């Protein structure tokens, strides 16, 4: 395995588009080639070598054989001026030590992105595959859609250990999102499909315009949306399979048991929705 480490030298004083820093791409390049990569920075640009000290552990891997099992990239000392880390990433493993800016994991299709800190807005936006983990908090529109787009996250797994901002999973249509803390207003708004779990409390107007999909709540919310109705039986098999799939995820979801059925509500009836809220607390 080839591991490349980019260690931040000093803050540049402006925001940098780091989408080009993908594990599979860098694994097939020499240190000198990596240092010459040009990154957009607003109306300007800068070279990787100006921002990072580039270190290599292991041999350079031929681009023809580079895949998610042979490529690893570590960014040490990251800060919120780094945007679009892991954007359109399709393989390999990217570990980011520190907080990051906006659009991390944007349209990611494969591989593993781990952020050891906080993430900005649009984390996992329109994500299509892979696994994205944020050990801290995330900003607004995590797993959501760009303004004007009709589809949010459509595959993969996004785990946020802290709190999530507003519009979590807006227009999401597939995949798994788990939040260890609270979620902001309009969580799972306009959800088309997929599964979203919130261990803390959702903010105002959650499940607004929800059409299908599942919202998992680990705590009894302070109120239920007026457009959801209680009841529903016969989902024992679904619940047992869901609990099994969550066994390796973050607590409290990993601790749920198949023999303890949650309380179920369905809606949003205002949009003839067939979504569901399952309250396991």
Whether 211 maps to a domain, the answer reads: yes
Whether 54 maps to a domain, the answer reads: no
Res 233: pLDDT: 79
What the block records as the tokens of 239 is 């619940």
Res 273: pLDDT: 84
Whether 123 maps to a domain, the answer reads: yes
Res 75: pLDDT: 97
Q: What is the pLDDT of residues 123-156, one digit of tens each?
A: 999 999 999 999 999 999 999 999 999 999 999 9
User: Average model confidence (pLDDT) for the chain?
Assistant: 94
Give pTM, 2 decimals: 0.94
Whether 181 maps to a domain, the answer reads: yes
Whether 251 maps to a domain, the answer reads: yes
Q: Residue 162 is part of which domain span?
A: 118-279
Res 96: pLDDT: 98
Q: What is the pLDDT of residues 54-85, one digit of tens each?
A: 999 865 554 444 444 568 999 999 999 999 99
Whether 58 maps to a domain, the answer reads: no
Domain count, the chain: 1
Res 64: pLDDT: 44
Whether 200 maps to a domain, the answer reads: yes
Res 67: pLDDT: 47
Whether 37 maps to a domain, the answer reads: no
Residues of the chain with pLDDT under 70: 1, 58-70, 281
């Amino acid at each position: 395995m080839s591991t490349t480490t980019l260690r931040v030298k000093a803050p540049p004083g402006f925001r940098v588009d780091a989408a080009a820093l993908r594990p599979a791409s860098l694994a097939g390049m020499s240190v000198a080639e990596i240092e010459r990569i040009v990154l957009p920075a607003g109306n300007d640009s800068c070279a990787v070598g100006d921002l990072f000290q580039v270190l290599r552990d292991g041999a350079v891997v031929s681009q023809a054989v580079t895949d998610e099992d042979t490529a690893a990239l570590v960014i040490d000392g990251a800060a919120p001026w780094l945007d679009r880390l892991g954007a359109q990433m399709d393989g390999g493993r990217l570990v980011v030590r520190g907080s990051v800016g906006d659009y991390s994991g944007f349209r990611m299709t494969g591989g593993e992105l781990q952020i050891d800190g906080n993430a900005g807005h649009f984390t996992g936006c329109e994500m299509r595959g892979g696994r994205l983990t944020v050990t801290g908090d995330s900003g607004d529109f995590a797993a959501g859609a760009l303004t004007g787009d009709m589809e949010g996250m459509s595959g993969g797994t996004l785990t946020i250990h802290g709190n999530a901002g507003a519009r979590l999973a807006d227009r999401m249509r597939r995949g798994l999102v788990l939040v260890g803390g609270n979620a902001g207003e309009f969580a799972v708004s306009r959800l088309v499909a997929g599964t979203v779990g919130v261990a803390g409390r959702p903010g105002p107007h959650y499940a607004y315009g929800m059409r299908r999909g599942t919202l998992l709540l680990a705590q009894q919310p302070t109120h239920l949306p007026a457009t959801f109705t209680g009841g529903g039986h016969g989902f024992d098999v679904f619940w047992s399979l869901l609990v099994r799939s969550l066994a390796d995820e973050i607590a409290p979801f990993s601790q749920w048991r198949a023999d303890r059925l949650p309380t179920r509500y369905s809606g949003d009836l205002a949009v003839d929705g067939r979504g569901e809220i399952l309250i396991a607390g």
